Amino acid sequence: MISLRYHVVSITAVFLALAVGVVLGSTTLSRSLLSGLTDDNEQLATQVSDLEAQRNAQQAQLADADDFAATVGPMAVRGQLDQRTVVIITTAGADPADRDALKTLLGDAGARVTGELQLTEAFSNPEKADQVKDIVIRLLPAGVQLPTASDPGSLAGGLLGPLLLIGKDDNKPQASADETAAALAGLTEGGFVKAAQRVEPAQLAVVLTGGAAEGDGAGDQAATVARFATQVDRSGAGAVLAGGAGSADGTGAVGVVRADTAATSILSTVDNVATPAGRVVTVLALREQLEGGTGRYGSAGNAEAPAPGVRTE
């Protein structure tokens, strides 16, 4: 007769055999998995190393291109704006370094910068839109007509454009010095602009902005700057809206202009002003504006060419 003890010993032996088999099998499997994972890890490490080398090479090429553009830029623009006048308008997001470099290049081109005006964050703040409209209407000089559009950007451009630019046909100021000073003082007191001590009307304008707008109301902020720049262009011989990386996206002022065929028919845009090449293109685009031309320039996907006279579409 088979005893209970025999059953217990038999069952224990079976489970022990299963356990040993599982351990041996899992050890073999683990070694196989570890070997495969090690191979995959080595391949990924090689790919990462190759990509880093490609990135470093591309960065070196871009640096060389920037150095080249910075070197030949003054020669490329020499005489392009000889005896012309330019006013520089910057937004709160514009990089002061870009502004200073552009001013130097404008001087190399023979232009004289007659003044600078900075638009503050409040200027494009959607919550301040009604205040901008009210102050524009209140400060409007006699003889200056506002556009039919009622958005704050167009209205502000309708006010500041004639103050900052001379007439396209007669090259004469469109408002008196006192009217200009009063309007700029009112906008300054309202917290919407910061003006240099002396601002004279010019033939051309550069509206310098940053990259893509961020945060709540980003689209409205970009639209305000875009419509402002477009209206300024209508006030004189020409204007260029120049922005940095990301400015040509949907949340950037350059991108808003490029999505509007009516705006692109008169206002030139540059999407890489943060680079030496982009600043050269901005100067050349101003020259093209004097001749009645317009274009979308830069390196973004919605640009039509890298520079005036170099069409890729």
Mind listing the pLDDT tens digit for each residue in 14-39? Answer: 454 445 454 445 556 567 767 777 87
Q: Residue 35 belongs to what H/E stretch? A: helix 4-77
Residues 170 and 194 in one domain: yes
Q: Domain limits at 229?
A: 80-297
User: Is position 313 within any domain?
Assistant: no
| Structure-token pair, residue 189 | 């007191």
**3-state percent helix, strand, coil for the chain, nearest multiple of 5:** 55, 10, 35
Closest CA to 141 of 175, 113, 164: 175
Count of structural domains, the chain? 2
Residues 158 and 104 in one domain: yes
**Non-local CB neighbours of 204 within 8 Å, separated by 6+ positions:** 81, 84, 85, 86, 87, 111, 165, 236, 237, 238, 239, 240, 286, 289, 290
Residues 200 and 139 in one domain: yes
pLDDT at 24: 45
Domain end residue (candidates: 77, 99, 117)? 77
State the pTM of this model.
0.79
Query: What whole-number distance in Å separates Cα of residue 61 and Cα of residue 77?
Result: 23
262-295 per-position pLDDT tens digit:
999 999 999 999 999 999 999 999 999 999 999 9
Residues 10 and 71 in one domain: yes
Domain end residue (candidates: 30, 58, 77)? 77
Residues 133 and 14 in one domain: no
296 forms beta bridges with 269
Residues 35 and 147 in one domain: no
